[in-house]
Each structure stands twice: as structure tokens, then as C-alpha cells.
């Protein structure tokens, strides 16, 4: 039997280069989504703690040495990557404990692929086009030589969610720190340890100067909101719900700071009548149940051409019922629990809503009777869903798939584009030409075509419409943390 590995538990804030308790020793509880039991506590930052973090980040940036020293930044990013690799077993257990992440996801997006963002950003620091020669111009008879420079934007607030915490934390931090910003990470309370572990490793195993990186978990939304309101914060990068994104954009408006948002989704997978149905059914099932359906870009609407609709519903039903769910410590388990009781009750309420709206419940729809504890919901399919219904329009964030019929490609595009969201999509057809033609008409930031997968550190990710503003990852994501300066020489 393998030796038990304990999670890396860091309860303290990381502010101004110091690991410390919150003001007054205040803490909040960390609850396991698998057992519903308290597994520990984390420092609960006050407004004063957040003030200290902003002040430390401001001083570190205004000192100029961090954003001017490309070599130091690249080295620190690589040091943090190396530290994460050294502590990988313990940190995987931390993420499993907080998120209910499965073994497969920990060796994928929840940890192993996420830490690659640091190496990508380190390489980009050394190869980024920091300066571009625009050549000569002649305005009003004055010959002028022009140079375009990219410079760090300043203090960046990185506000992150609980569904894939390490991935989002590092996607933001690697770009922010690589670009030369100083950063304040405010994680979701449900996954605070995944963030505070980064603070501990930065403090103990990197050369990051004090104040360059700060980790400030809090259970108080008004404390987190200070990051959007504070004049000393230059950039707000937020991943989360569209409702909260709208609010942050509004409260940041008086200071006219840069705000970029990766928000909700109601992504559609369009299945044409010439698609390989067996393969698509498996993709639909395992995609919908990844992270218990708690992913903003998951294809939660399956649009199926009417000629193959009944056949496809049967195939997807079989694929869903093959998904193994339960205790994420079991290597055979693919799907773990929802993150907390509020999310569990939300998902069950949408299942009730779908039935009330007249959609046909094909499979699932309940708490698994064999699981006495934990925030588990069976993989669930609704068929014959009205594309205008709330079930088809609103983000559920659980393992719930809506199947909708369509007659032709024009109708498929109309339904796919017919929500407030535009984060991601997928098109499946036996004809690449047909699939591409549909993909080009979709109002979405990322589109997988015939089994492709968009996700990679160098792939910019973000959405159209109310799925967000700006892009994360890739060169475009790096750009978000910079300002553009034009130098004109006479």
C-alpha cells in the first residue's frame, strides 16, 4: 500500500514578503466537498490586511527594479515552477482536499499542465517584443524617428475562482509577474490553500523581492472589492461569474483602471448529421462531467441535427451512464463532487427547473443514493430542451447537459449564438469544410473543430459578449498586463 501523502497546508497570508496571520488572528473554515467536514482554517484578511498588500505591491512596483529586470523575473518564474515540481505530491493533495479533484484532473488541468504557464511566461519575458521600431515619419515638416515600447502596467489584482484554482492562479500570475507587474492574488475562499501554498513557496524558494507577490484570502467580498476601487491598483484581472464581473467593472470605473474579465459561458457543441456519433457522444459525456461540470467553457448545450437526434440522445445517455463518479481519492473515479453546499443546491434547483419547463429528463437528476456525504449530483441529461428556456440560457455549473435539435446549419448557428454568452463552442462534422464554415459564424472566443482542443499556455482564452473582455494566456494574455508607450525622437 502506498504511503499516505499529506497536503501542503499554509494558513497564512503572504504580504510584503512576510507570511503572517490576518489582523486579529481571524480565520475562516475550509470545508471538504467530499465529506462536508471542516478540514482546517485559513487566515481571513481584513480591510487593513488588504490595504497592507496594496501598499506593499505599490512600493515594490514604484521601486522600478522588478519591472526593469527581465532576467530576475524570468529566474523567479522558473524558481517557482521548480518549487511546485518539488512539492507536487503534497500540492496535488491540497487541491484534491479543497476542490474534490480526481486523480486524472490533478495530472491534467488541475495541476500538471497548469504549472507550465510559469515556464511559458519565463520564456516570453526573454523573447517578447518589448520594443518595436516604427521608423521615420514626417509631420509638419519635422522628421521624427518613433519607437513603440511595451512596459508593465503597474499593480495587478488577480481575483480567481474555485473550479480550477491552480490553473487560473498561474495563468494570471505568470503573465502579470512576467510582464513586470507586481501582483495581489485574491483566491476564492473555498480554495484558499491552493493560493497560500504559492505564497509560501515564493517566500521560501524564490528570489522574488518583498511586495512583488502577495496572497490575500478573505471571506468578505467587501474586502476583495477594495482591489477594484483602489486608485493604486492599475489592473484588475477577474475570472468568475458574469454577475460579479459586471459589479467589479462598475466599481472600478471611477478609477478608469484596466479591467479584463473571463466570465460565464453556455457553450454549444454542434453535431451535424455526418459527424462520428459514437466519438462525439463520449466527448460530450466526459466533457460535460469534467470537474463535475464546473467549467466556464464546458459544452453544456449539445445541438444535434434532427436526422440523427434520437440516435444521438441514446448514445449520449449510454456514455453518461458510464461515467464513474464518487470519492476522488479512488483512481478509477472520473467525476468528483461539486465545490460546496450552495453550488450543490443550485444545480439541483436547475434540475427541478428543467423538469418544470417541460424538458425530458433522460438520465440522472438526483443525489447518488450510494453516497451518504459530499456534494455529489448524478451526471444528468435533458433532451427536447427549448433553446429559449432558462435551462438552455443560464449557466448551471454542474454535470447537466441540454440536448437541443436543429434542422439545418443556419438554425444551429442561430441557436448556438442565441445566449448572452460567447466563451467557447465546438463543431463536429464529417466534412472539415462544413465544420469550418459553421465555426467561422459562431460568436465565441474559442471553437474546437472535429475533436480539437484549444487549451494550451500559448493559446489566448476569453470570450465574446458577456463572457468577458480581453484574453488570458498566450501573447495576448501577456499584453493585458502591459501599457504601450510611443517615443518620438527629433
- Quote the cell numbers at residue 116: 507550465
Given a cut of 60, whether residue 198 has pLDDT beyond it is yes
**Structural domain that includes position 397:** 267-456
C-alpha separations of 418 from 242, 351, 381, 396 in Å: 17, 21, 20, 17
C-alpha separations of 148 from 181, 471, 485 in Å: 19, 21, 6
What is the total count of domains within the chain?
2
Those residues whose C-beta lies under 8 Å from the C-beta of residue 391, and which sit 6 or more positions away, are 350, 353, 354, 357, 359, 382, 385, 402
pLDDT at position 107 is 97
Cα 392–Cα 394–Cα 397 angle in degrees, nearest 5: 105
Same domain, 343 and 382: yes
In 101-164, which ranges are continuous DSSP H helix?
A: 103-106, 116-127
| Separation CA 161–CA 258 (nearest Å) | 19
Q: Which helix (H) or strand (E) holds 477?
A: helix 474-479
80 domain-assigned: yes
Same domain, 164 and 187: yes
Question: Tens digits of per-residue pLDDT, 209-268?
Answer: 999 999 999 999 999 999 999 999 999 999 999 999 999 999 999 999 999 999 999 999
Strand partners, 268: 301, 425
Q: Which CATH number characterizes residue 390's domain?
A: 3.40.309.10
3 domain-assigned: no
pLDDT at position 1 is 40
Same domain, 256 and 288: no
Same domain, 88 and 167: yes
262 carries an active-site annotation = yes
What are the strands, taking DSSP E only, across 68-208?
Answer: 131-139, 142-152, 155-159, 182-186
* Three-class DSSP category at 45: coil
6 domain-assigned: no
| Separation CA 166–CA 187 (nearest Å) | 10
* Three-class DSSP category at 270: strand
Whether the CB-CB separation of 404 and 385 falls below 8 Å is answered with: yes
Whether the CB-CB separation of 43 and 200 falls below 8 Å is answered with: no
51 domain-assigned: yes
Question: Tens digits of per-residue pLDDT, 295-349?
Answer: 999 999 999 999 999 999 999 999 999 999 999 999 999 999 999 999 999 999 9
Pick the catalytic residue from 158, 272, 296, 402: 296
- Give the global pTM: 0.96
461 domain-assigned: no
357 carries an active-site annotation = no
Same domain, 387 and 410: yes
Same domain, 156 and 56: yes
33 domain-assigned: yes
462 domain-assigned: no
Same domain, 298 and 445: yes
Q: Which CATH number characterizes residue 114's domain?
A: 3.40.605.10
Same domain, 186 and 234: yes
CA dihedral 117, 121, 123, 127 (to 10 degrees): 150
1 domain-assigned: no
Pick the catalytic residue from 98, 262, 428, 472: 262
Question: Of 301, 302, 387, 377, which Cα lies nearest the Cα of 338?
Answer: 377
| Helix 165-179 × helix 116-127 angle, to 10° | 20
Same domain, 475 and 451: no
Average pLDDT of span 51-69: 97
Same domain, 309 and 451: yes
Given a cut of 90, whether residue 400 has pLDDT beyond it is yes
Amino acid at each position: 500500500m502506498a504511503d499516505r501523502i499529506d497536503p501542503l497546508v499554509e494558513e497564512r497570508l503572504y504580504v510584503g514578503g512576510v507570511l503572517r496571520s490576518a489582523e486579529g488572528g481571524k480565520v475562516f473554515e475550509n470545508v471538504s466537498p467530499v465529506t462536508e467536514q471542516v478540514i482546517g482554517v485559513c487566515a481571513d484578511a481584513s480591510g487593513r490586511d488588504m490595504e497592507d498588500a496594496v501598499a506593499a505591491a505599490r512600493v515594490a512596483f514604484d521601486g522600478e527594479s522588478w519591472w526593469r529586470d527581465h532576467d530576475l523575473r524570468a529566474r523567479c518564474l522558473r524558481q517557482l515552477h521548480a518549487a511546485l515540481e518539488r512539492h507536487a505530491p503534497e500540492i496535488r493533495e491540497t487541491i484534491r482536499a479543497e476542490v474534490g479533484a480526481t486523480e486524472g484532473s490533478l495530472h491534467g488541468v488541475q495541476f500538471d499542465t497548469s504549472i507550465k504557464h510559469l515556464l511559458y511566461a519565463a520564456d516570453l519575458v526573454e523573447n517578447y517584443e518589448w520594443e518595436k521600431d516604427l521608423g521615420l515619419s514626417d509631420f509638419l515638416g519635422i522628421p521624427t524617428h518613433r519607437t513603440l515600447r511595451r512596459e508593465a502596467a503597474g499593480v495587478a489584482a488577480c481575483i480567481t475562482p474555485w473550479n480550477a484554482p491552480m490553473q487560473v492562479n498561474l495563468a494570471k500570475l505568470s503573465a502579470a509577474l512576467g510582464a513586470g507587474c507586481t501582483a495581489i492574488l485574491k483566491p476564492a475562499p473555498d480554495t484558499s490553500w491552493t493560493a497560500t501554498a504559492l505564497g509560501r513557496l515564493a517566500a521560501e524558494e524564490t528570489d522574488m523581492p518583498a511586495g512583488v507577490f502577495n496572497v490575500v484570502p478573505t471571506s468578505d467580498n467587501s474586502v476583495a472589492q477594495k482591489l477594484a476601487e483602489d486608485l493604486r491598483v492599475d489592473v484588475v484581472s477577474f475570472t468568475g461569474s458574469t454577475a460579479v464581473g459586471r459589479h467589479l467593472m462598475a466599481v472600478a470605473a471611477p478609477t478608469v483602471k484596466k479591467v479584463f474579465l473571463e466570465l460565464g459561458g453556455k457553450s454549444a457543441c454542434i453535431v451535424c448529421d455526418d459527424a462520428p456519433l459514437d466519438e462525439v457522444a463520449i466527448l460530450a459525456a466526459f466533457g460535460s462531467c469534467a470537474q463535475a461540470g464546473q467549467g466556464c467553457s464546458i459544452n453544456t448545450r449539445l445541438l444535434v441535427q434532427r436526422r440523427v437526434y434520437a440516435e444521438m440522445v441514446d448514445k449520449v445517455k449510454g456514455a453518461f451512464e458510464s461515467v464513474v463518479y464518487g470519492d476522488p481519492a479512488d483512481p478509477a473515479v472520473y467525476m468528483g463532487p461539486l465545490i460546496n453546499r450552495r453550488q450543490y443546491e443550485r444545480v439541483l434547483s436547475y434540475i427541478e427547473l428543467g423538469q418544470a419547463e417541460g424538458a425530458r429528463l433522460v438520465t440522472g437528476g438526483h443525489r447518488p443514493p450510494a453516497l451518504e456525504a459530499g456534494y455529489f449530483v448524478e451526471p444528468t441529461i435533458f433532451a427536447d430542451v427549448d433553446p429559449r428556456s432558462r435551462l438552455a440560457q443560464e449557466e448551471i455549473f454542474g454535470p447537466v447537459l441540454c440536448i437541443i435539435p436543429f434542422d439545418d446549419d443556419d438554425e444551429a448557428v442561430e441557436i448556438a449564438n442565441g445566449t448572452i454568452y460567447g466563451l467557447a463552442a465546438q463543431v463536429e462534422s464529417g466534412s472539415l469544410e462544413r465544420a469550418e464554415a459553421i465555426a467561422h459564424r459562431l460568436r465565441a472566443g474559442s471553437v474546437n473543430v472535429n475533436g480539437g482542443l484549444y487549451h494550451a499556455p500559448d493559446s489566448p482564452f476569453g470570450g465574446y459578449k458577456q463572457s468577458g473582455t480581453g484574453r488570458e494566456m498566450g501573447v495576448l494574455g501577456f499584453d493585458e498586463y502591459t501599457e504601450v508607450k510611443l517615443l518620438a525622437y527629433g
